[in-house]
Structure 1
Amino acid sequence: MAWLATCSSLVLVGVLALAVQVFYFSPIDPIIIERPPPLLSASPFPINNHLQSVIKLGEGIVKDPEDICVDKHGTLYTASRDGWILRLHRNGSWEHWKNLHSHTLLGITITTQGDVIVCDSDKGLLKVTDDGVTVLVSQVNGSKLRLVDEVVEASDGSLYFSDASTKYDLQNFLLDLLEARPNGRLLKYNPSLNETCVFLDNLTFANGVALSKDEDYLLVCETWRHRCLRHWLKGEKKGKTETFIDNLPGGPDNIHLAPDGSFWVALVQATSEEMGFVHSSKLLKHLVASFPRSLGNVVRGAHKKAMVANVGTDGKIIRIFDDSEGKVMTFVTSALEFEDHLYLGSLNSNFIGKLPLRSET
């Protein structure tokens, strides 16, 4: 019986060692989600696979273009995962414009002055011109920015930009999903004063940012909560924050103002049936966090589908386009409308999708 006692002791030691690893060395401080966000498959709109009809722009030239913007001349800009800021001119030619020597480029926008503002999740908020690159913001209140995500310019020159997580960087952003705490925030940069302040705090993975047509309110996406918030900048509700749209059939990534005043929201598969199960237990969360490779398998659906939603000013979905099987588009992170076409960025493609809108209405 001595061997049985020895085996029992070894098992007990192993269990204790695992418990110590899980609870004392876990990288996360999780909370329980009572009601997991809906899946992309839960969309009330029928599958249409319209995104399978996209024209592929720059195939093999761009790499994982997360966001897109267009200047007043109709030149398209995107930040490629290999560090290049690329331009697509109206004549169809691509230009490798500036190399920022970074693999963490995300949101991008054009200012009224023609400057390119890029979110480098690691370095901060950057201004890119023909003369070079300037770091506008790299820290706030003495704390380094960890995951600068998306940016939009107001008419007064102010820049509103999201810091998706104050705890995890881009390499570990899935740990933020697992933890499920409101680690994100929205920041405001005043270029005339060269000052940055925390505009909104306690956001659950703050992502896309957009201003309304009249700039009377601002929208910010909370990816892990599957919702977008509206913060009023003018009028009777000035200073108040409310839910703009909730229970989206996917995690809202970037959001862009459409010419008619509505908004285009890219929806990513930020959850899964397995993830819903994991979210029900702190123990499971600690276990998954202790074995990071398993987390990628839990959210693998992000690379299998694509969906974008057109949302009206009343917060109601007008139409949805999708690629339910991921045959052409997957992991779409931005949707920008320009001249009756929808331009689609993705963190899982080597092209930008271009979808004619008139044929899809």
Structure 2
Amino acid sequence: MAESTHSSSSNTPPPPPSATAPQTTRRWWRWPLFLSAIFTVLLSLLLVQLDTFDAARYPSDELAKKPVFVAPRTNPRVLHGSEKIGEGRLLGPEDIVFDPELGVVYTSCEDGWIKRVGVNGSGVVEDWVNTGGRPLGLALGYSGEVYVADAFKGILKITKNGEIEALTDEAEGVKFGTTDAVTVAKNGILYFTDACWKYDLHDFMLAILEGRPYGRFMSYDPSTKETKVIARDLYFANGVEMSPDQDFVIFCETMMLRCKRYYIQGEKTGSIDVFVDRLPGMPDNIRYDGEGHYWIGIPTELTFEWGLARKYPYIRKFIAFWDKYFQRPLMERNAGAVAVDLDGKLIGRYYDTGLKFVTTGIKIGEHLYLGNLLESFIIRLNLTQYPATAPSSTK
């Protein structure tokens, strides 16, 4: 029996080493990676907590309002069929204003240039005037002059001959932080916004992430050279536009997803109310097309990420930390423009998943022109060939 047992044991092959050793090895090298990841997360949370940046809560009643994403007519594929105007020669064309007399648009670029671009099909780009700063909002005066909201230099006037005159750069003893947009009434009074008096354009994202109302809406009277604050405590004051009847001025409040209006004539003179609310994204510049519609640039839809950031200050603090020391996550999508009627009713939306930071939408003839902070061209879309359609028929 003993001999039989020995024989049976000797015939049993030993287990292969590969059946146990690699599993142990695989489990072993996972631990350093796991501990390293935990350490990195904990260190990041500690550094964020120690950072002095203080994010505030947005008003709860505003957060409770749900944006309207679906317009009666929509084109969700703006890049399909669109053209790139001035590609490579227009660095961050933030705003666009049309001069029908010359048949050109003026656009404000990141390198300080205000450029003129032909809209008659040629697309010829001309370097017109360099402000030496960062021009943002533009307005065409009634004598052919151009008014500029320069982020660093305040409100400027440029004559037809290209001569620059600085008009104003402070109000109530407070310098403008980010002069953003401007429009002009027929009586010569300028209306404009300072997006945030605390931060300049280099740190505009911190102004948004902090969540405090540092924006102002103001006027400048060239006859008296007086700068007046009309509305303060705005959550990133942005685009401005005159009404066609010159009875009110519209100004946009980016982080509240709305535009307000300030009455300058009639029974409501001096009062402010909401013109359009619950926009699908964050409004930037606003333009009237002369055909009963305002066009509002939307740099981003209110994405899931931005929805969380607006709701929770700590998330904004974390994003601000990464924005200051590394690179913040990109949360912008579905940029484009919306069209609203004279009563502020949303009637059309034009956007694309591939678009981010669209700042301006302006309709000229049958084309929609889109300005952008990031691209080196203006987008032009033929609205006759590529119209917005009812959602049920959108492909």
Q: TM-score band (shorter)? A: 0.7 to 0.9
Cα distance change, pair 166–295 in 1 and its aligned pair in 2 (3 A): farther
- Per the TM alignment, residue 43 of structure 1 is displaced from its structure 2 partner at its CA by 3.4
What is the DSSP-based 3-state SS (H/G/I as helix, E as strand, rest coil) of the residue aligned with 2:50? helix
Q: Which residue does the alignment assign to 2:236? A: 205
Q: Is the 8 A contact 1:117 1:128 kept in 2?
A: yes
- For residue 105 of structure 1, the aligned residue among 135, 141, 159 is 135
Cα distance change, pair 15–43 in 1 and its aligned pair in 2 (3 A): closer
What is the DSSP-based 3-state SS (H/G/I as helix, E as strand, rest coil) of the residue aligned with 1:157? coil
CA distance in structure 2 between the aligned counterparts of 1:109 and 1:99, rounded to whole angstroms: 16
Q: Is the 8 A contact 1:207 1:221 kept in 2?
A: yes
- Per the TM alignment, residue 268 of structure 1 is displaced from its structure 2 partner at its CA by 1.9
- Per the TM alignment, residue 296 of structure 1 is displaced from its structure 2 partner at its CA by 5.6
Return 5+ residue gaps in structure 2 as ranges.
Answer: 1-42, 389-395
CA distance in structure 1 between the aligned counterparts of 2:47 and 2:380, rounded to whole angstroms: 50
- Per the TM alignment, residue 335 of structure 1 is displaced from its structure 2 partner at its CA by 1.1
CA distance in structure 1 between the aligned counterparts of 2:47 and 2:83, rounded to whole angstroms: 50
For 1:43, the aligned partner's letter is V
For 1:218, the aligned partner's letter is V
Residue 54 (str. 1) matches residue 82 (str. 2):
yes
Q: Is the 8 A contact 1:38 1:250 kept in 2?
A: no
Q: Is the 8 A contact 1:39 1:272 kept in 2?
A: no
Map 1:69-218 onto structure 2 (within 5 A): 69-71=97-99, 72-89=101-118, 90=120, 92-102=123-133, 104-129=134-159, 130-218=161-249
Q: Which residue does the alignment assign to 1:65? A: 93
- Per the TM alignment, residue 20 of structure 1 is displaced from its structure 2 partner at its CA by 6.9
CA RMSD, aligned part only? 2.7
CA distance in structure 1 between the aligned counterparts of 2:204 and 2:231, rounded to whole angstroms: 20
Return 5+ residue gaps in structure 1 as ranges.
Answer: 1-13
CA distance in structure 1 between the aligned counterparts of 2:307 and 2:327, rounded to whole angstroms: 14
Q: Is the 8 A contact 1:259 1:337 kept in 2?
A: no
- Percent identity, aligned pairs only, is 35
TM-score (structure 2 length as normaliser): 0.78
Q: Is the 8 A contact 2:156 2:166 kept in 1?
A: yes
For 1:78, the aligned partner's letter is T
Q: Which residue does the alignment assign to 1:4? A: none
Q: Which residue does the alignment assign to 2:382? A: 356
- For residue 267 of structure 2, the aligned residue among 219, 227, 236 is 236
- Per the TM alignment, residue 200 of structure 1 is displaced from its structure 2 partner at its CA by 1.7
Q: How many residues align?
A: 340
Cα distance change, pair 39–174 in 1 and its aligned pair in 2 (3 A): farther
Q: Which residue does the alignment assign to 2:323? A: 292
CA distance in structure 2 between the aligned counterparts of 1:214 and 1:108, rounded to whole angstroms: 20
- Per the TM alignment, residue 257 of structure 1 is displaced from its structure 2 partner at its CA by 0.7
Find runs of 4+ consecutive structure 1 residues off by over 4 angstroms. Answer: 14-20, 36-40, 44-47, 293-296
CA distance in structure 1 between the aligned counterparts of 2:283 and 2:327, rounded to whole angstroms: 19
- Per the TM alignment, residue 39 of structure 1 is displaced from its structure 2 partner at its CA by 7.2
Cα distance change, pair 270–135 in 1 and its aligned pair in 2 (3 A): farther
